[in-house]
Structure 1
Amino acid sequence: MADHDTFASLGLIPQLVDAAAALNFTRPTPVQQQCIPAALQGKDIIALAPTGSGKTAAFALPIIQRLWESPRGIFACVLAPTRELAYQISSQFEALGAGIGVRCAVIVGGDVDKIDQAVALAKKPHIIIATPGRLLDHLKTTKGFHLKSIQHLVLDEADRLLDLDFGASIDLVLQAIPTERTTYLFSATMTTKVAKLQRASLRDHVRVEAGLANQTVDTLLQYYILCPLVMKDANVVALIESQAQSSMIIFVRTIHNARRLAGMLRMLTFSVVPLHGELTQTQRLGALAKFKSGERKILVATDVVSRGLDIPLVDLVINYDMPTTSKDYIHRVGRTARAGRAGKAVTLITQYDVELLQRLEKAINCKLPEWPIDKEVVNALRSTVDNAAHQVMHEMKNEPSGTKHGKGRGKRYLEDAGAIEGVEELALLGSAGQQKRKKARV
C-alpha cells in the first residue's frame, strides 16, 4: 500500500482536506490511511481498531466526498449504540461537511421528542445518525419516512451494538434499506456476533486492522493504588488533590456511587459534574458540555462514558471502582492518551479487587506499578472526607419518595447535572453505554 502521510494523498477533495485541517487533523491515523482510499473506491469495509483511533473521520470523510459528487436526499445512515455517540458523530459530520452544507438528523430514544425527530426527518437530511431502536420505531410509524434511497450504511461500535441486544433491530433495518449500497462496519473487537453481522451485511469487502484492540496505547501511564475499602474515599481525594490542575474522569460502577461520589467531592469544593444513565438527555449533554469546555475539571461517570466519546484534553482517568473485565478497563482508560497524546490512568484496588487486578495485568500483558500516594496526607484527610460522605448519604436518603434522580432533586443537583440553556448548541459531543433495562443499571 502506498504511503498516505497527508489527507490530500488519500484522494480527498481540497474542500475536505481544508475541513480536516480546520479541525486540527494534521496527519491521517492508521485506520484513516487504510479505510479512506478503499471507501472512495466504493468498497465495503470491516475495520477493527481500538478506541481513539479516528474511526469517525475514517467513514465520514469518504461519505461526504461521495455526497459532494452525487448530491441527493437521505444519503447515508449511521447506527450507533448510544445517544451520546450519535450526537458526537453528527457533530463531526457537520464540522467536516460545513463547506458543502451537510445536514444531519440525530434520531435517538430516551426522553427526546419523537415528533421533533419526525419533523427533522421530513426535511430530508443528508445523513441520519441513529440508535437502532428509535430508527426502527420511525420506520414503522412516521408517515412518509423510509430509507430506500440511502447509498451508505455505517454500523459503528458494532460489538457494543450487539452487546446491547440491538441485533434484531439491526436485522429489520437491513431489510428496510437497499441491497445495493456501501456498508462500513467498525468494531473494537471481532466477536462471534460481529462475524455473523459481517456475513449478513457486507459483500466484497476490505478488512482493516489498525492497532491491537485488546491493548492499551504506549503513551498511557498506568498505575494502581492499594487501599482498604474504608479508606477508598480518602485515597481518591488525596489523588485528586495531587493532580489538581488536571482534567479527569472518575469511573464508578453504579448510579448510586456516581451520585454519592460527585456529591461528596462537590461538598469538598471540587469542580465536579456527574454523568449517569438516570439523567435526562439534556442533562447528560449539558454535563459533557461543561466538562469539555473546562467549566468543570472532574467528571464522575458510570460506563455511559467509557466508549466512543472524544474528549481531547483528559489528563487522568481514575477507576474508583475496578472494572470487572479487561475490555471495560481498556475502554475506560482509552478516554485519555488519545491520538498520540500522553495520559495517566490510576485504578483503586481494595482487598476485594486484587484478583481482578492480576487478571487484568495478564490480559493486557502489562504489570502496573503502584502510584506513590502519601499515606500521611490520606490519614489527615480521612475525617473531613468521611464527614462529607456521611452528609451526602443523609441527603440522598432523605430525598422525596418516588423522585426521579436528576429531575426533581433541587436546584443544586440540576445545575451540577448540566441542565443548562442552549445545550443542544453547545453539545458537539458524543458516547457510550445505555445498558439493557433488565440488566443492573449503571
Structure 2
Amino acid sequence: MLSKKLGYKQPTPIQQQCIPPALEGKDIIGLAPTGSGKTAAFAIPILQKLWDAPQGLFACVLSPTHELAHQIATQFEALGAGMGVRCAVIVSGDMDRVAQAVVLAKRPHILIATPGRIADHLRNTKGFSLHALKFLVLDEADRLLDLDFGTHLDDVLKAVPKQRTTYLFSATMTTKVSKLQRASLTSPVCIETSSSHHTVPTLLQYSVLYPLIHKEALLVYLVNSLLSNSMIVFVRTVHDAQRISIILRTLSFNVVPLHGDLTRSQRMGALAKFRSGDTKILVATDVASRGLDIPLVDLVINFDVPGHSKDYIHRVGRTARAGRAGKAIMMVTQYDVELLQRLECLLEKKLEEWPTDKEDVLAMHPTVDEAGRVAANELREAGKQQKSRKRKRQAGETDDQGIEEVSLLRGARRH
C-alpha cells in the first residue's frame, strides 16, 4: 500500500542489494548513480530498527546541501508516516540557531543536517549531544568532501558513539571518500550498482556539432523542437544561466533559472515551478545536477561539454531515473571536439548524432541575436543597480561612522 502511494513498483538495484545486509546490522558503502533510489535504501532499514527500539536522536543523516536535506526528510516522513516518525532538518538559513536548539531539545527520531551546522550545535548548544546515536548516514559523500566539509565531518565523527551503524553513499569512490570510509566504517559491505563512468541503459545519449557562432540559435532550435518534453538546460556559469534564461523568456518560452547566486527561497521557488509543471524548462548550473529530487525530466541539454566525466554523469542523471527512459543531448562546438572524444572514451560509448535542419537553425539567427541584445542590456542594467546598491550601503556605513565620531567628540567636550 505504502509503496504504491510513493510510486514504488519494485526495488531498484541499490535497494535490492543494500537493504538485506543493512537489516542484518552491517555497515554499508553504496556506490550508485543519482536517481537510483538510494535514500530509500538507507531509510527503510533505519525505520525498521527504529520501530523495533524507538528512541529520540536515533539516526543522523549528513547531507551536502539544504535542498537535499529537505528531500531526505520528506522521504523519511513519507516512509515512516504510519509509525509517527519525527524528523528535523538542521541547516543554515532555515531558522536561527536558538530556534534549532529548541527543535533539538525535543529529540526528533531522525536528524538530517549539513555538517557545518550540526558541528556548530555540538560545540555551542548546551545539552545537545549525539552520544546515544544508533545510525550515521553520510549521503553524497564525494560531494561532502568536495565542498570542504572535512573538518566538520571530523567533529561529528568524534561526537558519535563508536558502537553505531554507519552507511556511506557516494556516486564515485574517490581517494578522499576511501579515507573517510576507513575512518568511519567497520567491516563494511561494499555495494556498487554500476561503474562511475557508466550511465543507465534507459538513457539515450546524443551529440550535435555546430560552429560556436550558431550556438545560441541551435539551443533555441532544440528547445523549440522538443517543447513537449520537460527539460533541464545545463550551463557552466551563473552568467550563462542568466543570459540563456533571458533569451528564452524574450522569445516567449516559459523558463526558470537555477544557480548558486539565487537565495535558497528563490532556488526552492524555481524547483517548485518546474516540479509542478508550471514551466517545462529549467536552465541550471551544476548546483542542480547533484542530489536534487527533480522527478520526470524527459530531456537534458548540455549547453557545453563538461570538463569532467563525473560532471556529465551527474548532469544526465537528472533524466532516465528509476528505470524510466530519458534523452540527453550534448551541444558541441569546434573547440569541444577533443573534450567530447575524451568523454566518449571514458563512457566506452560513442554518442549518436542528433538530427537537425541546418536551414531552420540559421533562420533563427536574427531573432535570437535580437534576444541576445535584450539579455545583454538587462544584465548590464542589473549590474549597474547592484553596484549602486553596494555604493549606497557603503555610504550608509560611512555616514553611521561619521555620526558616531561626532557623538564621541561631543561627549569628549562635555567631559
Is 1:249 matched with 2:220? Answer: no
Give the letter aligned to residue 274 of structure 1: P
Task: Establish whether residue 311 from structure 1 lines up as the match of residue 299 from structure 2.
Answer: no
Paired residue for 2:391?
Answer: none
Residues 307-326 of structure 1: CA distance to partner in whole angstroms, max 9, x if unpaired? 11232210000001211111
Contact 1:19–1:97 (8 Å) recurs in 2 = no
Alpha-carbon distance in structure 2 between the residues aligned to 1:143 and 1:293: 41
Q: 1:382 is matched with which residue: 365, 373, 377?
A: 365
Give the corresponding residue for 1:176: 159
Residue 73 of structure 1 is matched in structure 2 by: 56
The Cα of 1:384 is off from its aligned counterpart by: 0.7
Corresponding position: 1:264 with 2:247:
yes
Name which structure has the greater RCO, CA cutoff 8 Å, separation 6+: 1
Superposed displacement of residue 49, structure 1? 1.4
Q: Deviations over 1:371-418 (max 9, x none)?
A: 1111111111111111111111111111264639xxxxxxxxxxxxxx
Give a deviation string over 1:163-215, Cα, whole Å, max 9, x none: 22211211111001111110001111111111111111111321112122220
Question: Any idea what SS the aligned residue of 2:33 has?
Answer: coil
- Which amino acid in structure 2 is aligned with residue 228 of structure 1? P
Q: Assess, with a 3 A threshold, how the Cα gap between structure 1 residues 320 and 123 changes in structure 2: closer, same or farther.
A: same
Q: Using a 3 Å threshold, how does the CA distance of structure 1 residues 111 and 32 change in structure 2: closer, same or farther? A: closer
Alignment counterpart, residue 267 of structure 2, candidates 263, 268, 284: 284
Give SS of 1:184's match: strand
1:322, 1:349 → 2: CA distance?
A: 7
Question: Is the Cα–Cα contact under 8 Å of residues 86 and 130 in structure 1 kept in the other structure?
Answer: yes
Give CA-to-partner distance per residue, 1:120-161, whole Å, 9 cap, x none. 222221111111111111222223222122110000111111
Structure 1: 4+ residue segments shifted above 6 A: none
C-alpha separation between the residues in 2 aligned to 1:321 and 1:123?
A: 48
Q: Distance in 2 between matches of 1:229 and 1:119?
A: 55
Q: Identify the match of residue 172 of structure 2 among 162, 165, 189.
A: 189
Structure 1 gaps of 5+ residues are 1-17, 405-442
Aligned match of 2:344 in 361, 368, 374? 361
Question: Sequence identity of aligned pairs in percent?
Answer: 65
DSSP 3-state at the match of 1:379: helix
The SS at the match of 2:68 is: helix
Amino acid at match of 1:307: R
The number of aligned residues is 387
> Residues 146 and 225 (structure 1 numbering): CA distance in 2 closer, same or farther, change over 3 Å?
same
Aligned match of 1:137 in 120, 123, 127? 120
Measured in 2, the distance between the counterparts of 1:228 and 1:112 equals: 48
2:20 counterpart (13, 37, 42) = 37
Task: Give the partner amino acid of 2:275.
Answer: K
Question: How far apart are 1:278 and its partner, in Å?
Answer: 1.1
Aligned AA for 1:104?
C
SS at match of 2:200: coil
Q: Residues 166 and 185 of structure 2 are in contact (CA less than 8 Å); yes or no, is this contact kept in structure 1? A: yes
Q: What does residue 222 of structure 1 align with? A: 205
Query: What pairs up with 1:121-136 in 2 under 5 angstroms?
Result: 121-136=104-119
One-letter amino acid of the structure 1 residue matched with residue 371 of structure 2? A
TM-score w.r.t. the length of structure 1 is 0.85
Q: Do the aligned partners of residues 215 and 321 (structure 1) sit closer, same or farther apart at CA in structure 2, a change above 3 Å counting?
A: same
What is the one-letter code of the residue matched to 1:143?
K
Aligned to 2:280: 297
Contact 2:61 2:137 in 1 (8 A): yes
Q: Residue 159 of structure 1 aligns with which residue?
A: 142
Partner Cα separation in structure 2 for residue 229 and residue 116 of structure 1: 51
Q: Could you tell me whether the CA contact under 8 Å between 2:68 and 2:293 is conserved in 1?
A: no
| Contact 1:80–1:86, Cα closer than 8 Å, also in 2 | yes
Task: Give the Å deviation of 1:110.
Answer: 4.8
Distance (whole Å) between structure 2 residues aligned to residue 400 and residue 249 of structure 1: 26
- What code does the residue aligned with 1:298 have? I
Query: C-alpha deviations, 1:25-64, integer Å up to 9, x for none?
Result: 1111111111111111111111111222111000001111
- Evaluate the alpha carbon distance shift between residue 44 and residue 327 of structure 1 in structure 2; reply closer, same or farther with a 3 A threshold: same
* DSSP-derived class of the 1:84 partner: helix
Q: Deviations over 1:94-135 (max 9, x none)?
A: 111111111211122357543433332222211111111111
**Which amino acid is 2:87 matched to?**
C
The equivalent residue for 1:327 is 310
Select the residue among 79, 91, 97 that pairs with 1:96: 79
Contact 2:234 2:284 in 1 (8 A): yes
What is the aligned-residue RMSD (CA, Å)? 1.5
